[in-house]
Amino acid sequence: MGINLSEESILREIEQNESEFVEFFRDLIKTKSYNPPGNEKDVALKIEKYLKDAGVKCELFEMKNNRANLIAYLNDNFEGKNLLYNGHMDVVPPGDENEWKYPPLSATIKRKKYIYGRGTADMKGGTAAMAVCLKILKKLDFKCSGNLIFNAVADEETGGHLGTEWCLQHILKSFKCHFAVVGEPTQIKPISHAILLGEKGRIQLKIITNGISCHASAPFLGKNAVYMMSEIIQNIDKLDEIIPNVEPPIPLDKLKTLMSVSFPNEEAFQRIYKEQPLLSNTTKALTQFTKTLTMIKGGIKENVVPDRCEAKMDFRLLPGQTFQTVINALTRLINDLGYPVKQDSDESLDEPNVYLEIEEASEASYWNDWESSDEVKRFYDIVEKIYEKKPFYFLFPATTDAKHLRNTGYCPQTIDFGPGNAPSAHSIDENIEIKDFLNAIKVYALFACDFLK
């Protein structure tokens, strides 16, 4: 893709105002929006002021408990091609702040290269870059046949129900979307940036075993709920035999081929792939159903047989695997162990039993016909030009707001791409390279011009 005058103007505008853009980004990092509880309104107000001062039209949708969503757009024409940029304003809590090198809300710059703080990668970097992109195109008086819409949302870190899902139901449905980019961090060091085409589904499940309490000196008079849970956990791998096998959307060999283009040659890729467990384990997770015990709680007192035990499990699903498939398989496994599964938490049973409660769930999502899309190829070319390294097409083992855009049918042609090293997300000393943030602005702005020309 050759650089014309319009592109030169965009790149020059970014390079001449780098300090301003970085300070705007740092201001968002310093604005507390840990979720829970959220408080995204404070971030939304700063984005709104930044864009309105540049002449960009914005609408802020306030919700209770200091939460909000924001939508901004270049013009009033929604009849042509519409490009949607989506970024969330909430971040996960920092954990023990004493373990951080720098305070998580400080947005500390080190070596003039990195910014440290909670949300730098996930994902105030992508959100800020998208807002800056809109300001630049407005300042340069970009004329287009369609519209660029920026949606800054709440609640992504706890499912997106009050954020992107709410916006789809109340705002976005008023116009069509022809392509969407979610600005999650997609750099995977030491390789390159990924362009994400889909993600796995998720079930966060609580398992409750109900036994019979008694004095620990005569344990045979009761039924130990912790032992019941132990039986279930020890047999959990049998789910792999019960749940019908489905093919992953991109098989392992193809995933490795897509990834290998970012390396100098095949030999270099194979060597790094073997040396870096992050790569091999991630591709393995992307191509199969996974299950992980994450929490367990039980016991009343050291001399009492526990009558209740709770465990939480995280299941990750491939496209084609449903919530009910997993629940049915787990119910069968538990029944085979000799325990009935209650259909309702209030159901009264005289014998030891198990109750399953879905706390959070989302289906897998995938852009099926991405390989025939000229738009995603042009996006790829722009990323390669700006970062001076080939990106690679990939999937995501976790979940993002892209699932709402794809699975509702609103915009199946949705990708994830944004600044930040993905493994840095949610970590102690989360950070981002300043150059990566600035490059993302360039990618978003150039692609918007290309798509809407």
Query: In terms of CATH architecture, what is 5-199+366-452?
Result: 3-Layer(aba) Sandwich (3.40)
Half-sphere exposure of 259 (CA within 13 A, CB side): 26
Query: What value does the mean pLDDT of the chain take?
Result: 96
Burial of 359-369, coded b for 16+ CB within 10 Å and e otherwise, reads eebbbbbbbee
Q: What's the token pair of residue 214?
A: 């008694």
Rounded mean pLDDT of 384-395?
Answer: 97
Distance CA 16, CA 26 (A): 18
Query: What was the pLDDT predicted at 350?
Result: 84
Query: What was the pLDDT predicted at 3?
Result: 42
Rounded mean pLDDT of 7-25?
Answer: 97
Work out the pLDDT band at 4, boundaries 50, 70, 90: very low
pTM: 0.94
Q: What is the pLDDT of residues 139-148, one digit of tens each?
A: 999 988 899 9
- Answer yes or no: is pLDDT of 47 > 80: yes
Q: What is the pLDDT of residues 319-329, one digit of tens each?
A: 999 999 999 99
CATH class (in words) of the domain with range 210-248+288-362:
alpha beta
For the chain, the domains span: 5-199+366-452, 210-248+288-362
Distance CA 273, CA 270 (A): 5
Query: What was the pLDDT predicted at 9?
Result: 95
Lowest mean pLDDT among 27-41, 91-105, 344-358: 344-358
Q: Do the first three CATH levels of 5-199+366-452 and 210-248+288-362 match, i.e. the same topology?
A: no
- Answer yes or no: is pLDDT of 338 > 60: yes
Radius of gyration for the alpha carbons in the chain, expressed in angstroms and rounded: 24
Half-sphere exposure of 138 (CA within 13 A, CB side): 23
Distance CA 309, CA 302 (A): 14
Rounded mean pLDDT of 222-230?
Answer: 98
Q: What is the pLDDT of residues 107-117, one digit of tens each?
A: 999 999 999 99
Q: What residues contact residue 310 under an 8 Å CB cut-off, 6+ apart?
A: 206, 207, 208, 295, 296, 297, 298
- Answer yes or no: is pLDDT of 370 > 90: yes
- Answer yes or no: is pLDDT of 394 > 90: yes
- Answer yes or no: is pLDDT of 407 > 60: yes
Q: Tell me what percent of the residues of the chain surpass a pLDDT of 70.
A: 99
Work out the pLDDT band at 346, boundaries 50, 70, 90: confident
Q: What is the pLDDT of residues 265-296, one digit of tens each?
A: 999 999 999 998 988 999 999 999 999 999 99
Query: What was the pLDDT predicted at 2?
Result: 40
Work out the pLDDT band at 62, boundaries 50, 70, 90: very high
